[in-house]
Structure 1
Amino acid sequence: MLGFRDPVADAISLLEPRTVIGPNLRAVGEWALRFDTFLHVRIGGLVRGTCWLILEGHEPVLLHAGDTFMLGNPPPYVLASTLDATPRPAEPVWAGADDGLVRIGQESEDDLYLCVGHIGFDEQNAALLTDLLPPLVVVRAADPRGLELGQLIALLAAEVRVAAAGGPLVQNHLAQVLLVHMLRAHAGQTDRPTGWLGALNDDGIGTALRAVHADVAHSWTLNELAEMSHMSRSAFAQSFKKHVGVPPLEYLIQWRMSLARDALARDTMSISELARATGYQSESAFSTAFRRVVGSSPRQFRNLARKPEPASAGSAVSPP
C-alpha cells in the first residue's frame, strides 16, 4: 500500500529535494553579479542591507533586510547594489568563496549580508511544484509571514558560516522548511490557480484534497468529494478547478500517475500491485491510464528507469 499524509508533505517527498546552500555574500560599495538561468528553485533573503534583484522580463525589485525571495525556473537575473552597476558573471566570484563566505569590498559594519541557496528536484516529478510557481515571489519583512521567513534566513546564514557537526543536515532541513513557508506565502498572495498548494487554504477543497491523498486507492467519485466539501457537485467542480487549475477527477488521475512513476522508478512493487494501490481494478485499466498521462506503458517506464545513467562531469549543482 502506498502511504501518504497531506498534499504538501506528499509532493515534497516525491520531489526528493536536493539543497545547496551558500556561500553567503557580504558586499559593500558598487557591485553587480549576473546569474545564469537554471532549473527548479532558488531561494534566499537579506540578513542585512539592501540590494536590487533584476530579473529579465520583470521590473527590478529593491530588497531590504528581512525580505525573502524565491525564483522558480527563472531566466538569468542580477543581484546588484545599484541599477547602474555593470554586472559581472557570478560563477567565478562564487568559486572564490572562503569558509562559506564571498566578500566584495572591504569588511564593514554596514555591508550587505545575503544568504542564497538552490533546491533541485527529481526531474520526473519536478513539475508538481515548478508548474505552480511564477519566476519570482518576494515576501517582505512586514508581510504576515515575513518575520518567520526572515528568522529562517538568519538561521540558515549562520549555519553556512559555522562548521559544526551535522551542518549540512541542518541546512537541508532549514531550506525545506523555508521552501514550505515560501509556498504558503505565495499561495496567500495570489488569486490565480496555484494547484494543490492554494487549494489547501480553502476549507472545502482542502478537505477533499487531503482525503484523496490519505487514501489514493479509494474509488473516489465526484459525489463523494462534493459531499465531503459540503457543496453541490457543480459548485465543487467549479471551485476545485478555480483553485487547482484542473477538474477534480483529472487531478486524482495525475496524482496517481505521479505516485506510480515514483514507485516504478524505485521498483518497489509489481505492476499489478501498483494498479491496486493507486485505485485501479485491473492492471490493464491502470496501464491505459498510465500511458495516457505519461506517454509510455508502465513496463517501458520501469525498464527505462532501471538503466543506469551515464556519469556526467556537469552533474553538479551550479552555484546560487
Structure 2
Amino acid sequence: MLGFQDPVADAISLLRPRTVVGPSLKASGEWAVRFDAFLHVRIGGLVSGTCWLLVEGQEPVLLREGDTFMLGNPPPYVLASTPDARPRPAEQVLAGAEDGLVRIGPESEDDLYLCVGHIGFDDRNASLLTDLLPPLVIVRVDDPHGGRLAQLIDLLATEVGITAAGGPLVQSHLAQILLVHMLRAHAARTDRPTGWLGALNEDGIGTALRAVHADVAHPWTLKELAELSNMSRSAFAHAFKRHVGVPPLEYLIQWRMSLARDALARDSRSISELARATGYLSESAFSTAFRRVVGSSPAQFRNQAKESAHSAAEGV
C-alpha cells in the first residue's frame, strides 16, 4: 500500500522536504535586507523585537515578538526596521554569519531577533502544497496557534545558536513541525483555503479524504465516499468540488498519480505492481490514467527520472 491515512502527513512525506535553517538575524538601528524570489516555502518568526515585512504585491506588515510568518513561492521581499529603509541584498548580509548568527548594528536591548528556515520540496509533486498557499500567512502570537508557534521559533533559534550533537537534524525536524502548525493555523481560519488542506476541517469531506489516503488501492466509488460522508451522492460531489476544487474521483486519480510519480522515480517495483498498488486492475488502465495526468507513459517517466538523477550525480 502506498498511502498512509493523514493527508497532511502523506503530502509532506511525498514532498521529500529539504530544510535549511538560519542563520538567525539580530539587528538594531536602521536596517533592511532584501531576499530574492525563491521556490517553495520559507518560515520565520520573531524571538524578540519588531520589524516590517514587505512582500511585493502585498501591504507592508508589522511583525511583533512572538509572531510567525510563512511565505509560499513568494516574489522578492524585504525585512526592515522601517518600510522606507534602504535594503541590502540578503546574500551579502548573510555571508557575514558567524556561529549561525548575523548582526546588523551595535548590540542593544531592543535588538530584533529573527529566525528563519527555508523548506524545499521535490519538484515532481511540490504543487500538491504550494498551489494551496498564498504568498503570505501571518500567525500572531495571540492567535490560538500563536503561542505554540512562538515556542517552536524560540527552540529553533536556540538550536541554530549552539553547536551540539544532532543539531542539523533537530533544526530540520523543528522546521517541519513549524510547517505543519502553520498549515493547521492557516486551514483553521474562517477564510480557509480552497483545496484538500481546508477541506480537512469539513467533517464529511475530511472523512472521505482520510479514507482515500488510508487505502488508495481500494476501488472507491462516488457512492461509497458519499456514504462515508453521510451525504447523498449529489450533495457530496457538490460539496467536495466546492471545498477541494476538483470532483472526488478526479482528486483520487490525481493523488494516485502523485504517489506513482514518486514511486517510479525512487523504487524498482514493476509497472504492473505499481498499477495494483494504486487501485488499477491492469497495467494498461494505469498507464492510460498516468499519461492523461502526467503527459508521458510510466516507462518514459521512469527513464527520464533516472536520466535526471544520473545527470545530477555527474554534476551536469
Using structure 1 for the length normalisation, give the TM-score.
0.96
**1:196 deviation in Å?**
1.6
Q: Residue 278 of structure 1 aligns to which amino acid in structure 2?
A: T
Provide the residue aligned with 1:142 in structure 2: 142
Q: Hey, what does 2:88 align to over in structure 1? A: 88
**Residue equivalent to 1:2:** 2
State the distance in 1 between where 2:12 and 2:194 align: 16
Please say if 1:151 is aligned against 2:159: no
Contact 2:21 2:116 in 1 (8 A): yes
* C-alpha separation in 2, matches of 1:113 and 1:147: 17
How much has 1:83 moved relative to structure 2?
1.1
Please give the root-mean-square deviation of Cα atoms over the aligned residues, in Å. 1.3
The answer (yes or no) to whether the contact 1:260–1:274 under 8 Å persists in 2 is yes
Q: Does the alignment pair 1:309 with 2:303?
A: no
Shift of 1:311: 5.7
The one-letter code matched in structure 2 to 1:238 is: H
Q: What's the CA shift for 1:189?
A: 2.2
Distance 2:143 2:3 in 1: 35
Aligned partners of 2:210, 2:56: CA distance in 1, in Å?
37
Which residue of the partner structure matches residue 31 of structure 1?
31
CA contact (8 A) 2:160 2:171 kept: yes
Equivalent residues of 1:193, 1:245 under 8 A apart: no
Instruction: Rate the CA distance shift 1:146–1:4 in 2: closer, same or farther, 3 A.
Output: same
Distance in 1 (alpha carbons) for counterparts of 2:314 and 2:104: 32
Q: How do residues 277-296 of structure 1 correspond to structure 2 at under 5 angstroms?
A: 277-296=277-296
Provide the C-alpha distance between the structure 1 equivalents of 2:78 and 2:236, rounded to a whole number of angstroms: 43
1:222-241 matches, within 5 Å, as 222-241=222-241
Shift, 1:242, TM fit: 1.6
C-alpha distance in structure 2 between counterparts of 1:155 and 1:184, whole Å: 19
Cα distance per residue 1:71-121 (max 9 Å; x no partner):
000000000000121111111110110000000011112100000110000
Amino acid at match of 2:205: I
Q: Which residue of 2 aligns with 1:169?
A: 169
In structure 2, what is the Cα distance between the partners aligned to 1:217 and 1:154?
42
Question: What is the DSSP-based 3-state SS (H/G/I as helix, E as strand, rest coil) of the residue aligned with 1:309?
Answer: helix
Deviations 1:11-65 (A, max 9, x none): 0111000000001100000000110000000000001000000000010000000
TM-fit CA distance, 1:122: 0.4
How does the TM-score come out when normalised to structure 2?
0.97
Aligned position for 2:259: 259
Does the CA-based 8 Å contact 2:3-2:10 persist in structure 1?
no
CA distance in 2, matches of 1:221, 1:10: 21
Residues 212-266 of structure 1: per-residue CA shift (max 9 Å, x gap): 0011001100000000000111111111112111110110000000000001001
1:170-209 equivalences in 2 (<5 Å) = 170-191=170-191, 193-209=193-209
The SS at the match of 2:151 is helix
Task: After TM superposition, give the deviation of residue 183 of structure 1 in Å.
Answer: 0.5
Residues 1:279 and 1:74: Cα distance change in structure 2 (over 3 Å)? same
What is the identity, as a one-letter code, of the residue corresponding to 1:96? G
Distance (whole Å) between structure 1 residues aligned to residue 76 and residue 2 of structure 2:
39
The amino acid across from 2:241 in the alignment is K
Contact conserved, 1:194 with 1:244, CA < 8 A, in 2?
Answer: yes
Q: Secondary structure at the match of 2:102?
A: strand
Per-residue CA shift, 1:200-221, capped at 9, x if unaligned? 1111111111110011001100
Distance in 1, matches of 2:268 and 2:200, equals 30
Runs of 4+ in 1 over 4 A off after TM superposition: none
Partner of 2:17: 17
Q: Greater shift after overlay, 88-97 or 181-190?
A: 181-190
Q: Secondary structure at the match of 1:218?
A: coil
Q: Name the counterpart of 1:318.
A: none
CA contact (8 A) 1:187 1:194 kept: no
The corresponding residue for 2:249 is: 249
Number of matched residues?
Answer: 314
Q: Which residue identity lines up with residue 237 of structure 1 in the other structure?
A: A
Secondary structure at the residue paired with 2:291? helix
217-226 or 187-196: bigger deviation = 187-196
Aligned to 1:299: 299
Cα distance per residue 1:117-150 (max 9 Å; x no partner): 1000001010000000000000001111000000
1:267 deviates by 2.7
Q: Does 1:128 align with 2:112?
A: no
Structure 1: unaligned runs, 5 residues or longer: 316-320
Q: 1:62 and 2:62 equivalent?
A: yes
Measure the CA separation in 2 of the matches of 1:193 and 1:43.
18
| One-letter amino acid matched to 2:181 | H
For residue 287 of structure 1, give the secondary structure of its aligned residue in structure 2.
Answer: helix
Query: Equivalent residue of 1:185, what SS?
Result: helix
- Shifted more, 289-298 versus 80-89: the winner is 80-89
Corresponding residue for residue 104 of structure 1: 104
User: In 2, distance between residues paired with 1:268 and 1:54?
Assistant: 46
**8 A Cα contact 2:186 2:192, kept in partner:** no
